[in-house]
A and B are shown apart, each in its own frame.
Chain A
Amino acid sequence: MPNDKETGKADVVTLRDRFLISPASPLPDLSTPSADAFLAEDRRERGRPVFALVVKPGIPSRLPMLRTLKGQENPGLLSLIEWGVTDWPPADRKAMIIIYARPMGGRLWGDKGSNVRRVDEADIVLRIVKPAIAALKQLNSLGITHRAIRPSNMFWMSSERDRAVFGDGASAPPGLDQPSALEPVECALSQPEGRGDGTNGNDIYSFGASLAMILQGRDIAVTSAEEAIIRHKIVMGSYSALAGEARLPLSLVEILRGMLCDDVDQRWNAEALDLWLNGRRLTPLVPRIEKRAIRAFPFSGKEYWTGRELAIGIFQNWDKALVQLGDGKLELWLSRAADNKPKGELIANILAGGADNPASDKHLNDDITIAKICMILDTKAPLRYKNMSTMIDGIRWLLPMTMAKGGDVRTIASALIREMPKAWYTTREVYSPENSVLDAGFRTQKGYLDRALIGYGLERVVYELNDGVPCLSPLVVDEYVLELRDLLSALNAYAKKKGDNAGAKVIDRHIAAFIMARANFDIERMVGELGLPDPARVMIASINVLAVVQWRLGLPNVSALTSWLAQLARPAIKSYHNRARRAFLEKELPRVGRDGNLIELSRLLDSSEERGNDFRGFEEAKTMWTNSHRQMRAIEEGHEEIKEESTRTGQQVASLISVTLAFIAIAILLLKKFV
Chain B
Amino acid sequence: MAKKAKKAKKASGKSSNAGGRRGRSNIQILLVVCGIALVPFSIPTLLLLFAGLLPTLVAALTDRSLARYAWICVGGLNFAGLAPALLTLWFGHHEIPYAVSQLTSLKVLLMAYGGAAVGWMLYFAAPPVVGVILQATSQRRAESMRKQMAKLQEEWGDEVATEGEEEGTEEPPTGTAVPTQRG
Contacts and interface: CB of A to CB of B under 8 A. Distances in A.
Interface of A: 525-526, 529, 541, 544, 547-548, 551, 575, 577-580, 599, 602-603, 605-612, 614-618, 621-626, 628-629, 631-632, 635-636, 638, 642-643, 645-655, 657-662, 664-666, 669-670, 673
A579 B175 contact: no
B69 A654 contact: yes
A618 B128 contact: no
B173 A611 contact: yes
A655 B73 contact: yes
29 contacts: A526-B176, A544-B177, A612-B172, A618-B156, A621-B155, A622-B167, A624-B152, A625-B161, A628-B149, A629-B145, A632-B142, A632-B146, A632-B149, A635-B141, A636-B142, A646-B130, A650-B131, A651-B73, A654-B69, A654-B119, A654-B126, A654-B127, A655-B69, A657-B73, A658-B74, A665-B80, A669-B87, A673-B87, A673-B91
Given A578-B156, A646-B134, A654-B126, A661 B146 contact: no
Contact of A652 (B69, B131, B134, B160): B69
Nearest to B148: A628
Nearest to B71: A655
B127 A661 contact: no
A625 B141 CA distance: 14
Q: SS class of chain B's interface: helix, strand, loop or mixed?
A: helix
A570 B131 CA distance: 55
Nearest to A578: B156
Interface size class of B (residues with CB under 8 A): 35 or more
A612 B125 CA distance: 56
A534 to B, nearest CB: 11
Given A629-B149, A646-B134, A529 B176 contact: yes
A629 B153 CA distance: 12
Given A629-B149, A659-B76, A651 B131 contact: no
Given A578-B156, A621-B155, A625-B162, A652 B67 contact: yes
A670 B132 CA distance: 38
B83 to A, nearest CB: 5
A565 to B, nearest CB: 13
Nearest to A614: B173
A636 B138 CA distance: 9
B157 interface: yes
Contacts of A578: 155-156
Given A631-B142, A651-B73, A652-B69, 11 more contacts: A608-B174, A608-B177, A624-B148, A628-B145, A629-B145, A650-B126, A657-B122, A658-B73, A658-B123, A662-B80, A666-B83
A659 B72 contact: yes
B55 interface: no
Contacts of A655: 69, 72-73, 76, 123
Nearest to B79: A662
A623 B133 CA distance: 30
B84 interface: yes
Contacts of A661: 76-77, 80
Contacts of B38: none
B121 to A, nearest CB: 9
B65 interface: yes
B122 A608 contact: no
Nearest to A639: B135
Contacts of A635: 138-139, 141-142, 145
A603 B178 contact: yes
Q: Which of A643, A653, A655 has the most CB of B within 10 A?
A: A655
Interface of B: 65, 67, 69-70, 72-77, 79-80, 83-84, 87, 91, 119, 122-123, 125-135, 138-139, 141-142, 145-146, 148-149, 152-157, 159-163, 167, 172-178, 180, 182
Contacts of B160: 577, 618, 621-622, 625
Task: List the 9 shortest-distance A-B pairs measured between CB atoms, nearest first.
Answer: A650-B127, A646-B131, A658-B76, A608-B175, A654-B126, A611-B175, A650-B126, A665-B80, A650-B130
A665 B115 CA distance: 11
Nearest to A645: B134
B155 A580 contact: yes
A665 B79 CA distance: 9
B151 to A, nearest CB: 10
B175 A610 contact: yes
A654 B162 CA distance: 44
Contacts, number: 189
Given A577-B159, A578-B156, A648-B67, A654 B73 contact: yes
Contacts of A529: 176
Contact of B126 (A625, A629, A642, A651): A651
Nearest to A643: B131
A330 B171 CA distance: 63
Contacts of A626: 162-163, 167
A378 to B, nearest CB: 52
A659 to B, nearest CB: 4
B157 A579 contact: yes
A245 to B, nearest CB: 70
Given A579-B156, A654-B73, A661-B76, A649 B134 contact: yes
A272 B73 CA distance: 129
A625 B145 CA distance: 9
B171 to A, nearest CB: 9
A113 B177 CA distance: 61
A105 to B, nearest CB: 56
A580 B151 CA distance: 12
A261 B138 CA distance: 106
Nearest to A668: B83
A652 B69 CA distance: 7
A626 B123 CA distance: 39
Nearest to B124: A654
A354 to B, nearest CB: 48
A621 B152 CA distance: 6
Contacts of A662: 75-77, 79-80, 83
Contact of B177 (A577, A605, A632): A605
Contacts of B142: 631-632, 635-636
Contacts of A606: 175-177
Contacts of B133: 646
Contacts of B182: 551
A246 B146 CA distance: 106
